Structure 1
């Protein structure tokens, strides 16, 4: 066993696995599992941000990864983005490349962060992608049938801002008496499986009796898509794309008269309280297998290092159990085939260390893209001057 560990140590990139002492909560078995287990699982086990630490993990199931994600750390703020694509990766990749840039542009212009600034960044991203679809439609018409859910979180000056389209989800874990942890869902799932969402969609389309109906046992908008809000999905928002024969899989019986889906996010903000210990941002692939309470209890009861990967592993074990398989069996499957057992899943766990909200932690200013494992400087340092002048 010692020889095996010695050999593996030569393969492991030093920066990612330097936290292997007992005090940091790392586990040799976890390292072995990461290196020798799931080749489609990527993680950053523990990194610093402006008011604590975060853990980041992604697992691929589709032939081409449709989840895109990023964490941007600045001296005074932290940005989390989880973008769950559907129909292809084009929309989620576009969001990852543009939404944060739109946000920083609006922050620079207005000198602050607010719910309205978040809405403006979402709107600019939507308009940019629809413009790209229109420009490239002649050579790449299938882009009109791609879209993405979009979940964003920002921690700045003791406030948490969250904006959401679709059914990715943000959940906060708060302590209560007896050292228990309680889950609070911060976002609304914009999914037609929820009666409230179906009623919302029907109220917006009173003249369309087929705006939402059940198909193959699943509630869907126009019998096609489950989410009621997204970025992209141009064929459900612009009449010029709605009847194009290039994507017969998404057939509409008649041209749309108004957008079927909306890109208006649900936005929420709260002043962080001392009992707020961490927040989990994840695509719906995690919540398909774990309840909110199960997820926060896993985070609360386990070491920080590798906690996002641990959440993924619990979800994947549950996905395997539902198919009367083991996770080891699923690990042997190729991407694409693996989508029959679970979705692409992205998880970011942000710890909220309140003493650091007062003491300025010297966290690195980094931009980290999930799964791609690209790391570079972040533009979020723009908020440092704003924080000082506010």
Structure 2
């Protein structure tokens, strides 16, 4: 049975009514911290942390064109992962691939059922970043340009330091290698990626090459003038311009792996991997996600020659001119050290908690089983 508690993100940062956070909570392998700041009229970032005595699931879902796709992913992807893992009797890359495919098909049904009432829903999509920690193994699956970075200890000439290791790949055609990948998948289509509006975009419209949704760039039946009037011309499709096939990596966690930073691109627009890892390394755990968000906001306002205090009163939607929605989840990996020393996870681990940040009439939910 699920019990809902209203507004666990009840704390705001220095009076910023568009920022919510939880300072520190337990998960199966240590502690985690989460913070979310809204910039768009509707919060398009969605996020989850689900933990049981033997596993931890982390999700950052960055929507575009509207919140419908990211909300759908937030409500369904982990259920599919859990279902397929139960069927196989273990976690695997195949489980995660099947869950992403089922989520894409599920949202496609939503779009088909809604298209007559709301044609624009064919243009709604979401990036998806997922982390699963199970039996000492870390799985990372990604669509789009959200990112996870590992902070780990390394020894160099007798000295120990903490360095950043990026564990996900950005699927964004602003990167040369991604442009080449997309162009290679569409031989004979010289307009598959074009430079416009200050950057490289698929069909002149979107920068990410992988997503859930965005069916007007995947399926011909949604590729009509009514969807594309705002772009000035029809965008012919010989094959899907985007894909929902995630890039997935798996690796054994090691004692030198200290923490993971999962974040939407709103954070990485302003912080490098190394800057984010250094902030987590040198500051206390409590409120660390809030600190990362605050640092990004400070940099964003300085670029506009403003102070952070200046944007606190700016309304959502208008605030998008200064920064994007930002979601940050920091996962500490304490239990990996204990497991390396022979300590087993037992029944003292926390119960299953799902921390979800949703913009549903400004209600932010935590669900407990």
Tell me, yes or no, whether TM beats 0.5.
yes
1:105 is matched with 83
Residue number among 73, 79, 82 corresponding to 2:51 in the alignment: 73
Richer in helix (by share): 1
Corresponding residue for 1:367? Answer: 354
Relative to its length, the structure with more strand (as a share) is: 2
Deviation at 1:179, TM superposition (A): 3.9
Alignment-derived partner of residue 302 in structure 1: 283
1:292 and 2:273 correspond: yes
Q: 2:322 pairs with 320, 341, 351, which one?
A: 341
Matched residue of 2:16: which SS? coil
Q: Is the 8 A contact 1:145 1:247 kept in 2?
A: no
SS of 2:226's partner is coil
SS in 2 for 1:43: strand
Task: Work out the CA distance in 1 between the residues paired with 2:24 and 2:160.
Answer: 23
Q: Residues of 2 paired with 1:36 and 1:172: CA distance?
A: 29
Q: Does 1:186 align with 2:167?
A: yes
In 2, Cα distance between the equivalents of 1:284 and 1:65?
14
CA contact (8 A) 2:255 2:337 kept: no
By how many angstroms is 1:356 displaced?
4.2
Q: 1:317 corresponds to which residue?
A: 298
What's 2:97 paired with?
119
Runs of 4+ in 1 over 6 A off after TM superposition: none
Asked if the contact 2:9–2:364 (Cα under 8 Å) also holds between the matched residues in 1, the reply is no
- Give the root-mean-square deviation of aligned CA atoms: 1.8
Equivalent pairs counted in the alignment come to 351
Shift of 1:60: 0.2
2: CA distance, partners of 1:35 / 1:325: 17
2:71 is aligned with 1:93: yes
Counterparts of 1:16 and 1:326 in 2: how far apart (Å)? 24
- Offset at residue 16 of structure 1 (A): 8.1
1:131 shift after superposition: 1.6
C-alpha contact 1:48 1:364 (8 A) present in aligned 2: no
Does 1:61 pair with 2:52?
no
SS in 1 for 2:36: strand
Following TM superposition, by how much is the alpha carbon of 1:35 offset from its aligned partner in structure 2, in angstroms? 5.6
Where 2:306 maps in the other structure, the secondary structure is coil
Question: If the length of structure 2 is used for normalisation, what is the TM-score?
Answer: 0.91
The 8 Å contact of residues 228 and 234 in structure 2, kept in 1 or not, is answered as no
Distance 1:370 1:224 in 2: 28
Q: After superposition, where does 1:212-251 map in structure 2 within 5 Å?
A: 212-250=193-231
Structure 1 unaligned segments of length 5 or more: list them: 1-12, 18-30, 379-390
**Which sections of structure 2, spanning at least 5 residues, go unmatched?**
1-5
Equivalent in the alignment of 1:21:
none
Q: Match for residue 3 of structure 2? A: none
